[in-house]
């Protein structure tokens, strides 16, 4: 998507690779600064995933693919067996970075299969780089098509609620939940967005609001607990969220707080949609009960980070009693019964086993 920097507009992808260096937008710095992070090997790139310099299903997947390509580039080239062993070790490391995002595992396995399909080190390098770039390009193309399908659900004047950030920063480009909104805006539809702040990392307040502002789309940031009340007041026409993993039966894992938005939407007869590329679907997870839920550092809840005017820097401030501890579950699972439909690059489907299985035939 386009980013306004000073007096110019420039197109950026969220993450890309030049030579053996992975470059990405450093997301914790947004909205107060726009900086590009450079990562020189698979361990640095993996840590960027763990530390959430980059986050969001598709962006994590593309980054994992590039990290795998870095591993192949830096692996021993004198012996194909040594190369494979090195890359397999790297794959285990990258898989350990985030447990919930299906796209990470999809990308690691896809590049690993490309290495297995090669019969010499040179062929492995070529295949790994091509596969990693293909994962990123596929993600961007899928999200563009998600926007084209999802836009048809949006009527002129719609007020849309979204949770967390499932815009282009969460993918390689375009995004999932925000992609239909961008397409609707491009077609001249008037759209208003309520962006949940999304505690504890505030991706909605920081990232979604920044994206919408960059695109000139009218919006307001709301505290997470406001959504139910404005639904009851008739101020929300639809809800669109993203997903980090979708089970074979249509259950959806997404940022913590998504489940309660879905329940509230159902109670208030508001359509609740999930937007995600098919790479987010995990057929090995039969239901949401099979999806691992990441628990992150309690400090994300006990402290808040923000821009300090007096120092001109990002500061960390404790908001809780010094002896208190926190439970910081990063995701929850929304049962399929609360979901009106899943917007994929192949079309809008019902959240059930039969409809999902058809996507892979």
Same domain flag for 258 and 133: no
94 three-state secondary structure: helix
The tokens 């815009």 sit on which residue? Answer: 167
Q: Length of the chain in residues, anyone? A: 361
Cα 151 to Cα 113: distance, rounded to the nearest angstrom: 35
Would you say the pTM of this structure is higher than 0.85? yes
Taking the CA atoms of residue 12, residue 238, residue 225 and residue 201 in that order, the dihedral angle to the nearest 10 degrees is -20
Single out the residue of 68, 87, 214, 47 nearest to residue 134, CA to CA: 68
Cα 232 to Cα 264: distance, rounded to the nearest angstrom: 9
Judge whether 248 and 356 are in contact, CB under 8 Å.
yes
CATH code (residue 276): 3.40.50.10470
Structural domain including 81 reads 2-144
Same domain flag for 315 and 171: yes
Same domain flag for 119 and 140: yes
Same domain flag for 166 and 246: yes
The tokens 């079309």 sit on which residue? Answer: 347
Burial class (CB within 10 angstroms; exposed 0-12, middle 13-18, buried 19+) of 324: exposed
Q: How many CA atoms within 13 Å lie on the side-chain side of 121?
A: 16
Residues annotated as part of the active site: 244
Tens place of pLDDT per residue across the chain (361 aa) = 889 887 788 999 999 999 999 999 999 999 999 999 999 999 999 999 999 999 999 999 999 999 999 999 999 999 999 999 999 999 999 999 999 999 999 999 999 999 999 989 999 999 999 999 999 999 999 999 999 999 999 999 999 999 999 999 999 999 999 999 999 999 999 999 999 999 999 999 999 999 999 999 999 999 999 999 999 999 999 999 999 999 999 999 999 999 999 999 999 999 999 999 999 999 999 999 999 999 999 999 999 988 888 888 889 999 999 999 999 999 999 999 999 999 999 999 999 999 999 999 8
Look at the chain and report how many structural domains it folds into: 2
């Amino acid at each position: 998507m386009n980013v306004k920097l000073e007096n110019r507009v420039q197109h950026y992808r969220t993450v890309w690779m030049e030579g053996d260096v992975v470059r990405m937008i450093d997301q914790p710095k947004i909205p107060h600064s726009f900086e590009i992070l450079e990562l020189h090997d698979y361990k640095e790139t993996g840590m960027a995933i763990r530390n959430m310099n980059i986050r969001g299903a598709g962006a994590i997947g593309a980054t994992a693919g590039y990290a795998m390509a870095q591993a192949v580039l830096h692996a021993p080239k004198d012996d194909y067996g040594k190369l494979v062993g090195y890359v397999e070790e790297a794959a285990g490391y990258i898989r350990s970075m985030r447990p919930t995002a299906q796209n990470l595992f999809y990308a690691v396995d896809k590049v690993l299969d490309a290495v297995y399909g090669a019969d010499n080190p040179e062929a492995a390098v070529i295949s790994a780089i091509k596969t990693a770039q293909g994962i990123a390009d596929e993600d961007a193309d899928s999200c563009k098509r998600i926007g084209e399908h999802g836009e048809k659900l949006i009527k002129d004047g719609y007020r849309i609620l979204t949770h967390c950030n499932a815009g282009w920063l969460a993918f390689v480009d375009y995004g999932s939940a925000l992609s239909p909104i961008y397409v609707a805006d491009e077609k001249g539809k008037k759209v208003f967005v309520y962006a949940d702040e999304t505690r504890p990392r505030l991706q909605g307040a920081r990232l979604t609001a920044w994206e919408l502002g960059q695109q000139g789309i009218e919006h307001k940031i709301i505290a997470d607990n406001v959504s139910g009340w404005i639904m009851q007041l008739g101020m929300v026409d639809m809800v669109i969220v993203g997903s980090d993993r979708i089970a074979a039966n249509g259950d959806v894992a997404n940022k913590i707080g998504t489940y309660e938005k879905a329940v509230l939407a159902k109670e208030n007869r508001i359509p609740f949609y999930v937007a995600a590329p098919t790479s987010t679907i995990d057929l090995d997870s039969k239901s949401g009960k099979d999806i691992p839920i990441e628990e992150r550092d309690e400090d994300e809840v006990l402290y808040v980070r923000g821009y300090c005017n007096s120092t001109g820097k990002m500061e960390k401030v404790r908001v809780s009693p010094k002896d208190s501890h926190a439970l910081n579950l990063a995701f929850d699972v929304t049962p399929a019964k609360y979901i009106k439909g899943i917007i994929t690059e192949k079309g809008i489907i019902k959240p059930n086993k039969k409809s999902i299985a058809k996507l892979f035939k």
